[in-house]
Amino acid sequence: MNRKKLIEIIFKKRSVLCVGLDTDLTKIPKYLLADEDPAFAFNKAIIDATKDYTVAYKINTAFYEAQGIKGWMSMEKTLNYIPKDIFTIADAKRGDIGNTSEQYARTFFHTYPFDSVTVAPYMGADSVKPFLQFEGKWSIVLGLTSNAGSADFQLQQCGDELLYQKVLKTVASWGTPENIMFVIGATRKEQLQEVRAMLPEHFFLVPGVGAQGGDVDTVCSNAFNKDAGVLINVSRGVIYASAGEDFAERAGEEARKYQGEMKGYLKP
């Protein structure tokens, strides 16, 4: 999905909600475990309940890889079930030397045709650039995350700037706002403002809303640009809104609430 189409969907739905399908078999309703494919049964119900309010789904591949071949099959079925007008993210955080990254890119852009994949930039340009060779596909590069351990490296001084600032500026030069997004944590408005000033055109994938303490207003007020420019990811706060048989209904209600908070920032 190219940038123009993504923006059209955002303003049509008046939403920047990304629902994270971090499907943990220990947390889904117990009765689903009797299904032939419990993860897909859960995901299918969540998608049906939330698709009117979301513009993206993020599949955290770890929760599927951990199940072996069956998990990969669940992931593929989930990807194929997502409506074609909704942006798809493989949250795989890949990044290795060039020829290995080429294979990772083929995995998530060809074998499993996601619109985007999350990428770790620690190994430098040759670990990221192979992902940028696919037209209409996006690399979502780790920039500034909201976890406690981000201070170990990202917030360390690197010359006359912090390491994450150097990463953002450098990676942005490898591609364009048409094929690179950045993961930017949602918990501190000052950092959102700073990163938006550094990267006025790029899209940000913003985790940390909901269970991690971030909120929609902080993100929209401080990180929006003229094209919206953000995808706000919520995982646990939507998909695990209920552990009962009403789990899908409750997920839909939570997704609708988030979209309701977002629509005021997205004038038709």
**Which residue, 208, 262, 268, is CA-closest to 17?**
262
pLDDT in tens, 92-138: 999 999 899 999 999 999 999 999 999 999 999 999 999 999 999 99
What average pLDDT does this structure show over 17-40? 96
Angle in degrees, 0-180, between the axes of helices 216-223 and 189-198, rounded to the nearest 10: 30
Tell which wins on pLDDT, 70 or 157.
70
Cβ-based neighbour number of residue 244 at 10 Å: 11
Q: Which of 27, 70, 77, 93 is catalytic?
A: 93
pLDDT for position 108: 97
In angstroms, the CA 193 to CA 218 distance is 10
CA distances from 156 to 122, 126, 150, 256 (A): 14, 23, 9, 39
pLDDT in tens, 161-188: 888 899 999 999 999 999 999 999 867 7
Q: Please say whether the beta carbons of 136 and 109 come within 8 A.
A: no
Q: Please report, as a single letter, which amino acid is at residue 64.
A: Y
pLDDT in tens, 201-210: 999 999 978 6
Catalytic annotation on 93? yes
Angle, alpha carbons 150-155-159 (nearest 5°): 145
In angstroms, the CA 213 to CA 210 distance is 5
Cβ-based neighbour number of residue 39 at 10 Å: 24
The 3-state DSSP class for residue 17 equals strand
Q: Please report, as a single letter, which amino acid is at residue 29.
A: P
Rounded to the nearest 5°, which phi and psi values hold at 43? -60, -40
Residue 16 pLDDT exceeds 80: yes
pLDDT for position 267: 80
In angstroms, the CA 150 to CA 163 distance is 11
**Which residue, 121, 132, 127, 129, is CA-closest to 168?**
121
Sketch out the chain's domains with CATH numbers: 3-265 (3.20.20.70)
**Which residue, 58, 59, 23, 50, is CA-closest to 38?**
23
Residue 74 pLDDT exceeds 70: yes
The distance between the two most distant Cα atoms of the chain, rounded to a whole number of Å, is: 57
- DSSP line for 208-240: -BSTTSB-HHHHHHHH-BTTB-EEEEESHHHHT
In angstroms, the CA 96 to CA 114 distance is 19
pLDDT for position 152: 84
Read off the pLDDT band of 213 (50, 70, 90): low
Query: Which runs of E-coded beta strand occur in the chain?
Result: 17-21, 56-60, 87-94, 116-119, 138-144, 157-158, 161-162, 180-184, 203-206, 230-234
Q: CA torsion, points 186, 238, 121, 103, in degrees to nearest 10?
A: -170
In angstroms, the CA 86 to CA 223 distance is 22
